[in-house]
Amino acid sequence: MKRIYLFLGVMIPCLLLLATGCDRSEKKAAYQKPKTLTLAVGGEKAEGFDPTLGWGSYGSPLFFSTLLKRDADLNIVPDLATAWKLVDNQLTWIITIRRAVVFSDGSPLSAADVAYTFNTAAAAGGMLDLSNLQRAEAVSDTKVVLRLKQPDITFIQYLITLGIVPARQHDSGFGRHPVGSGPYKLVRWDEGQQMIVAANERYYGGQPFFKRLVFLFAAEDTALAAARAGQIDVLAVSSVMAAQKIPGMKLHVVKSVDNRGLMFPILPNTGKRTPRGLPIGNDVTADIAIRKAVNYAVDRKALVTGVLDGYGRPAFGVADNLPWDNPQIRFKDGDPERAVKILEKAGWVDSNGDGIREKDGKEAEFTILYNVRDRLRQGLAIAVSDMLKPVGIKAVPRGENWDRIKKETHANVVVYGFGGHTPLEMYSLYHSPGPEPMYRNAGFYSNPVVDSYLDQARKAASFAESIPMWKKAQWDGKTGFSVPGDAAWAWLVNLDHTYFINQRLNVGKSQMEPHGHGWPITANIDQWKWN
């Protein structure tokens, strides 16, 4: 009963204590705020919490330290590393790490563990693409050298996101029994139900205020009911749930670069298939006039209002408002008249009066696939379909599971979501793909000029010198992957990530979050405290 009383307020336990004749020490304890925090911010990974397989790449690694990290303003600051530099024509990172750091079990952390982590992650072929890493070597207990195959300024992202694991304890079961040097350590994980973690008393960064965290893994409706009962302190909710009131909680809104957009198949349907046998191409979306018309016809502000309930902003690219964003790609959307002119000039006309334009015997019709379990993506697909009808384009929304979508992704329009704190996201979506690109550049977009800009950006001598190339890849005045150029995507919205938090909780300044609503809010959890 004690936990329930704490969520109902401080007066109830005090009155109960007075009624039983409590002494002053007991009264004082009644007013103390609990050092346990309960969160419902997303599900767990099937493979567990192994950084070498991708854990922490979209949010705080929690149990683990990283070489570098980003502060609330997304500036790169040290974590394990005390010094870092890029030498040898941008092919070698030399990194010095802190002395006297230990893992949560008391074993020492050395440069050998850092080298092992990077080499293992590169070989794992998981969420982290470290294929450009030739070799990581520990040259002393506190110095590690990362040698690259090719110059790549974006490699610094892995210094920020890859949690360091202990080489001696890392095995196939590590994800379920993680040991790291971060602010917290795993106590218990009941898969599908909850995870309990405790403050790591050996953490070099200072002790967090909250000594114990409980992460609940529950469906949104179940978690919402628990929050109403006063059993949750931090709850991630979709924007459609953000308007309600929860006693004892306040809404916390975080800007993000978590976007949603329509991926277009760029190639025509010639019967070609990927090595895995997946069909490639769509004769309708292969026409640039269709792609541009969709972009101009869609009213993004209306999507933010109607689908996101106002919690978001229009999206025009994959990196809106980040340093490598090119503001020249902005355009006036919600402009059906312009869309009609583009279509008619390209020969798309409604010759039989059925409301659907035709060209060369083909109707302006395509399917929009979305994850059937995602109400937001469903809402976007349906709204876009309605917006395209007046210009003579028939877009048919169809919900499928991800396994099915992956099989059809190269031949249909798909509502995808991306967004990260690195321009590497841009590279993976728009650089000419290999024969089996999966969901990144699933539409087989390719432009040699864009490829050249993207390659130059990665090979730049510094990140500052790479920014002009990232911008030119979007639009250089003549070509680019954005709407003024090839219109390879129709980006729709950038989400606001919405959370309900205990009204007494101070989470500090939340950084602009990447794709993956939920876990990213924990990026600064070691700084949280009660007001």
- On whether residue 487 sits in a domain, the answer given is yes
pLDDT band at 128 (very low <50, low <70, confident <90, very high): confident
C-alpha distances (whole Å) from 492 to each of 149, 159, 333, 353 are 36, 31, 10, 29
Contact 314, 494 (CB under 8 A): yes
Does position 501 have pLDDT exceeding 50, yes or no?
A: yes
* Averaged pLDDT for residues 445-452: 98
Please list the alpha-helical segments (H only) found in 20-146.
24-31, 111-124
Task: Report DSSP letters for 220-236, one per residue.
Answer: HHHHHHHHHTT--SEEE
Q: Which domain holds residue 434?
A: 257-494
More confident residue, 339 or 29: 339
Output the six-digit token pair for 244: 């309600």
- On whether residue 158 sits in a domain, the answer given is no
Residue-wise pLDDT for 297-346, tens only, equals 999 999 999 999 999 999 999 999 999 999 999 999 999 999 999 999 99
How many domains, the chain?
2
- On whether residue 365 sits in a domain, the answer given is yes
Contact 445, 434 (CB under 8 A): no
- On whether residue 200 sits in a domain, the answer given is no
Note the pLDDT of residue 14.
33
Q: Which helix (H) or strand (E) holds 118?
A: helix 111-124
CA nearest to 489, candidates 521, 419, 441, 452: 441
Residue linked to tokens 């028939």: 394
Q: How much of the chain, in percent, has pLDDT values that exceed 90?
A: 83
- On whether residue 141 sits in a domain, the answer given is no
- On whether residue 323 sits in a domain, the answer given is yes
pLDDT band at 33 (very low <50, low <70, confident <90, very high): low
Note the pLDDT of residue 12.
27
- On whether residue 342 sits in a domain, the answer given is yes
Output the six-digit token pair for 46: 């099937």
- On whether residue 114 sits in a domain, the answer given is no
E strand map for 333-460: 358-359, 362-363, 365-371, 394-400, 413-418
CATH number of the domain residue 298 falls in: 3.10.105.10
